[in-house]
Amino acid sequence: MRVALVGNQNSGKTSLFNCLTGSNQKVGNWPGVTIDRKEGVIKGTETILVDLPGIYSLSPYTSEEEVSRKYILEENPDVIINIVDATSLERSLYLTTQLLELDCQVILALNMCDILEKKGISIDEKELSKNLHMSVVKISALKNMGIQELINLLKSEEILDNKHQKIYEDPIEKAIEKISSQLNDLKHKRFISVKLLERDPLLKDKETENIRHDITECEQAYQLDMEQIIANQRYLYIDKVKQTCLTKTPVPESGTDKLDKIFLNKWLALPIFALIMALVYFLAVGVVGSYTVELISGEGGIITLFQNWLSEFLISNEVSEWLISLICDGIIAGVSSVLGFVPQLIILFLCICLLETSGYMSRIAFLLDKLFRSIGLSGKSLIPFIVGSGCSVPGIMTCRTIEDETERRITIMLTPFMPCSAKLPILTLFAGNFFGEFAWLATVFLYFLAILTIVFSSLVMKKWIFTEKGSAFISELPEYKLPSLTYVLRDVGEKTFAFIQRAGTIILFCSVVVWFLLSFSWKLEYGVAIEFSILASIGKGLAWLFYPMLGTLSWGSAVSALQGLIAKEQVVSSMAIIAGLFEETADATIFAGNGIFSFFTPASAYAFMVFNLFSAPCFGAIGAMKRELGSVKRMLQAVLFQTGIAWVLAVLIYQIGHFLEMMG
């Protein structure tokens, strides 16, 4: 048996899904969209539960609604569990009236029944069940109440059959009847008839002259268009049902409203927000976060110690040199540069999860919406940018909280423009060496340039690339609540695991490839000097790309930029190695005398720095982009877009700078 779980956003769908399935879950994506597709087996049964995206209606306008509709109509689940927030019954039943038009058994799960009393609401579920002609179960997914009753009902054969009650006024019901009589033996006749009346664009092929005629007749009678008539009458029906089974007594102002007087206060809201963000930054990417990274992969960190120990162990066992290099310099170095972020990520995921489950995340969008909308982003885009200034990987992963697909994709593509902490060595090297006492100014200008690039790119993308209509900001401010410990742990664990999994696959693979190119010559000799490696010849092949921003052909610069793909700080160590120095003295001597990098002038130095900071991020971030954008194609588009912008900026800076240098 297959059961679909359908409900509004914030109706507690995820909690109920977890309650019902325990740990037997499979998470993937719906075909074509980056919306989670979750499946699990209901505890103590063999019933498969499919979690459909949170929706308010089965209209054809959002990808969530389309996915849900397609699933229900094409894959015909045996039963639908319609989870409903009992504290906003009226709005929630709107979706129920649509589900009841399907040829499918529907169970109404009245969620959040534990807080009804506090809100002064009482619901007579027997009366509700009688009115709607469907099985109703009172539950609380958060308190694990009524879950067993729900499972028992599913197991029994006692689910009330869907009677397709007439809920509209006579003229509409007549039109529905007429259409459905023409639909032969199609499944979900009543549902499709209503959608046809509403001129549903996804059902255009079934539209006939007769139907169009009926629609016009009804519209003339009501002096409204069909979509409005249907919506009005659904709500009129719900109003009638509600009056028989729901009573409300006035209650004192809720805790949420009191808290909002502070958190959404005209003067206090933004300072409080800044404070909370500062705290998140401090914990995740600032002092605490970088301490944990140091602990894992810094000098004397766990991974470094392990690496040293392993290489000594391998040497003492006379393992061949190239294999040691593959393991230590290729695999461990590459993967550990990413795994080093794990503790930091855990802290960050914890912060984000707390912000989300407590209800504050929705307020952030509410606070900043006006500001960010003017550049085509969502208020929630700020969080990935702030987090991204520490590390792009978690920054990109926090884009998940942005509901609108377009805004989410734009934010994912723009987050790597924020100079992350791994890019700081590049900044120090170039700004420090070429701008002397004005190094700070060069740095400030760079951050300014990053923000400018984000704003500009967003405007460009919104105007020419993602031309679909802007999202309406229609969402809810959920109640503030204390996060549930099990939920938080589970959420953080899942996200961390997904990250580690990726480090073990794509990042491992890419690191090995770059190691190979760097360590071998075309004749497959191992251990050649860097200038004879395959990577160097690739660098020579690509040097012309860098000519417009350097004013010379420099394979060393090209190779170093390529190495930045493993981790951005590698740009600096690569330049040091190529200049024939030891890694530790990566300072002014890189550019000294007749060395390979002595051609750098302030103009080309700034240009090359900008290119490295804004071009394709490291493999870790590219992997995150692939996962969050949902396809390799979109990931490549993003990487090309970023590298393109970086190239144009770098060339502009060099050409202007070079011109100024020539002028003296």
Binding site for another protein (CB under 8 A): 56-57, 59, 61-62, 87-91, 94, 224, 227-228, 231-232, 235, 248, 260, 264-267, 269-270, 366-371, 373, 469, 472-477
Phi, psi (degrees; rounded to nearest 5) at 379: -55, -30
Residue keyed to tokens 């990042």:
507
Instruction: Give the nearest distance from C-beta 99 to another protein in angstroms.
Output: 14
Residue among 75 and 239 whose Cβ is closer to another protein = 239
User: 18 or 62, CB closer to another protein?
Assistant: 62
Smallest distance from another protein to CB 603, Å: 41
Residue of 227, 200, 198, 188 lying closest to 61 (CA atoms): 200
Phi then psi for residue 189, to 5 deg, are -55, -50
CB-nearer residue toward another protein: 471 or 484:
471
Smallest gap, in angstroms, from Cβ of residue 231 to another protein? 4
Minimum Å gap between C-beta 175 and another protein is 19
> Nearest approach, Cβ of 465 to another protein (angstroms)?
20
Listing DSSP states for 91-128 in one string gives: HHHHHHHHHTTSSSEEEEEEE-GGGTGGGTEEE-HHHH
Q: In angstroms, rounded to a whole number, what is the distance separating the alpha carbons of residues 383 and 284? A: 12
Residue nearer to another protein on the CB measure, 91 or 164: 91
Shortest distance, CB of residue 142 to another protein, whole angstroms? Answer: 18
Nearer to another protein, 87 or 131 (CB): 87
Question: What phi, psi does 38 have (nearest 5°)?
Answer: -110, 135
Q: Please give the backbone phi and psi of residue 644, each rounded to the nearest 5 degrees, phi first.
A: -60, -50
The three-state (H, E, C) secondary structure of 367-419, written as one string: HHHHHHHCCCCCHHHHHHHHHHCCCHHHHHHHHHHCCCHHHHHHHHHHHHHCC
d(C-alpha 279, C-alpha 286), whole Å: 9
Indicate the residue among 283 and 477 with the shorter CB distance to another protein. Answer: 477
Q: Residue 10 carries which side chain, given as an amino acid letter? A: N
Nearest residue (CB) to another protein, 126 versus 370: 370
CB of 90 to another protein, least distance (A): 4
The residue length of the chain stands at 664
Instruction: Write down the least CB distance from residue 215 to another protein, Å.
Output: 15
Alpha carbon distance 428, 448 (integer Å): 17
To the nearest whole angstrom, how small is the minimum distance from the Cβ of residue 596 to another protein? Answer: 53
Token readout for 551 is: 């004013």
Q: How far is the CB of 392 from another protein (least distance, A)?
A: 28
What is the per-residue burial (b if ≥16 Cβ within 10 Å, else e) of 75-110?
Answer: eebebbbbbbbbbbbeebbbbbbbbbbbebbbbbbb
The string of DSSP codes covering 61-77 is SSHHHHHHHHHHHHH--
Minimum separation from the CB atom of position 261 to another protein (A): 9
Q: Which is nearer to another protein, 346 or 364 (CB)?
A: 364
Helix/strand/coil for 316: helix
Q: What is the spatial distance between Cα 56 and Cα 132, in angstroms, rounded to a whole number?
A: 18
Say if CB 382 and CB 364 are below 8 A apart.
Answer: yes
Q: Are 226 and 213 in contact (CB under 8 A)?
A: no
Compare residues 6 and 543 and give the one whose CB is closer to another protein. 6
From the CB of 270, what's the least distance to another protein, in Å?
6
**Of 61 and 282, which has the nearer Cβ to another protein?**
61
Q: Which is nearer to another protein, 368 or 590 (CB)?
A: 368
Which strands make up the sheet holding 48-51, listed edge to edge? 25-29, 36-41, 48-51, 2-7, 79-85, 105-111, 135-138
| Least gap, CB of 362 to another protein (angstroms) | 8
Residue closer to another protein by CB (options 287, 474) is: 474
CA distance 156 to 498: 38
Residue at token pair 């075909």: 31
CA triplet 258, 259, 264: central angle to 5 degrees? 110
Which residue, 368 or 549, has its beta carbon nearer to another protein? 368
CA atoms within 13 Å, Cβ hemisphere of 601 = 16
